[in-house]
Each structure stands twice: as structure tokens, then as C-alpha cells.
Amino acid sequence: MASLPDTFLAPKTWGQAYLPASGQVCPLPSIKLLLLPMSSIVIIDYGVGNIHSAMKGLKRFASDVVLSEDPAVIRAASALVLPGQGAFEAGMEGLRKRGLIDEVKNAGKSGKPILGICLGAQLLLERGHEFGDWEGLGFMQGEVVRFPALKNEKTPHMGWNSIHTPAAGLRPAGWKGTPLEGLKEGSEMYFIHSYILQPKNPEHVIAETTYGGLTFPSVIGTGNIIGCQFHPEKSGETGLQILKQFVEMAA
């Protein structure tokens, strides 16, 4: 963040420039950046639901949680949270209209921790097929598809269900090193969704859930990127533990 000159004259219009005694004109940092904590978690406000419940959950463990759609504020964050409920197309359009797609992509490439929740988790993949065929953020190869016909169950999948380490045995360390570390096998989380995560690489599946006879990925991730299909902020103390450990990752 830009620092104040040793001596300066107040600019005629706040937001335009500093006018140091030397006469040199310097850009003025955004007021939002001046007020932003040095280390902050930014919840991306991109016009979808579930924003405020995510904010409430994260604020239990961090005082420096900021809700913003400002690219400069997002760029300065120490970690990002992409929450949301709704359609894949609406989520990507919300990011596009605010000029945030490249900001989020660049943050992920830089190693900044990113947590996607529900729709936010779906946007982490390459493509979504809800009401068409839409390009996602592409942090992981794969797509988001509708639940197939299920045995004795209806969609949306709504309510409490358990999460498990992948049956394929690709995670011998279990959930160690992820925000799920320390959770019990079979922990119950709150779901509401009609589309499911389908990453191409099975190593990107962190947890699985079974509904109507179908086992699907309920947590995906790679490196600094993680996505939960369920709502940790609505999943009681167990779900809040995931948020707590994500905050610790971002510290």
C-alpha cells in the first residue's frame, strides 16, 4: 500500500493526488485501502445470496473480515471467500460485470487462500451446465452437472448429510493439511443444491457424500484453493470449525 509523503499539502479534491512540498504529484491511495486492515479476509460481493451468513460465520474467528466488490480491495486481501447460492451463469456474470474474474484468477495463481462455498465451490471448476454451458474460473479441470435420477430421493438435495474421505483411497493422510483437519469421519453438514461437482482429477476430491444412492464430491481442492458444496456457516459448530481453520490458513 502506498505510504504518505513526509510532508504534503492537502489536495483540493480528496482522492485525486497528494501534493508534497517538493511539488511532485503522487497518486492518492483509495480510502477503502487506507481503511483496510494490513491482513484481511475479503468476502467477494458479486450479487448472489448467502453473503451475510458467511460474513457472520467468519467474524466469529477473525475481526478483519471485509465484504467488497472493489477490485483494489480484493487485490489487497490476504485471503478470499467466494460464497453464494444460485445459478452458475448468474455467478459468473456477477463476477464479470464487476471486473472480478481476472482478479480472482490472479489471486489463486499467486497462492492466496480461496474458499468457495456452495455456488462459489462450483465456480472453481472449468464449466457449469446449469441453464446452458458456461465457463468457470478453471482452478481445477472438471464440470458442474445436474443430479441424475436418484433412488427414492428428489432434488434439490436439501438438509443434513455426512461427509467422508474418498473411498478411492487417494488421500492416505485423510484431511490433514486442509480446513477439514480434525473433523470426524461422517461429520454432518447442511446442503442445498441441485448440481454436483465433477472434478476430472480424483486427487482433487477431498470429501464425498452419498445421496439417493449416488456418491459425489462434497469438498474439492488443490493447493491454496478449496470448495465446499455444503454450507459450513450453516452446519453448526462442526461446520464453523472449517471456517476457523481456513482463517488460520490465511493468517
**113-143: pLDDT as tens digits:** 999 999 999 999 999 999 889 999 999 999 9
Residue 89 counted as domain residue: yes
Range with the poorest average pLDDT among 29-43, 72-86, 156-170, 194-208: 29-43
The total of other beta-carbon atoms located within 10 Å of residue 112's CB is 19
Residue 167 counted as domain residue: yes
User: What CATH number did the domain enclosing 90 receive?
Assistant: 3.40.50.880
Residue 22 counted as domain residue: no
Domain count, the chain: 1
Q: Which of 157, 193, 204, 231 is catalytic?
A: 231
- Grid coordinates in use for 183? 473433523
Residue 47 counted as domain residue: yes
Residue 42 counted as domain residue: yes
- Grid coordinates in use for 205? 476430491
On whether the CB atoms of residues 162 and 209 are closer than 8 A, the answer is yes
User: Is 233 labeled as catalytic in the residue annotation?
Assistant: yes
Residue 5 has pLDDT above 70, yes or no: no
Residue 9 counted as domain residue: no
Residue 26 has pLDDT above 80, yes or no: no
Q: If DSSP codes are grouped into helix, strand and coil, which group holds residue 178?
A: coil
By CB atoms closer than 10 A (0-12, 13-18, 19+), residue 27 is exposed
pTM of the model: 0.85
Amino acid identity, position 153:
E
- Grid coordinates in use for 176? 490433514
Q: Which of 69, 118, 157, 193 is catalytic?
A: 118
User: Is 26 labeled as catalytic in the residue annotation?
Assistant: no
Averaged pLDDT of the chain: 87
The total of other beta-carbon atoms located within 10 Å of residue 91's CB is 27
Which residue range is the domain that position 64 belongs to? 36-250
Residue 15 counted as domain residue: no
Residue 189 counted as domain residue: yes
User: Is 228 labeled as catalytic in the residue annotation?
Assistant: no
Q: Which of 69, 130, 143, 233 is catalytic?
A: 233
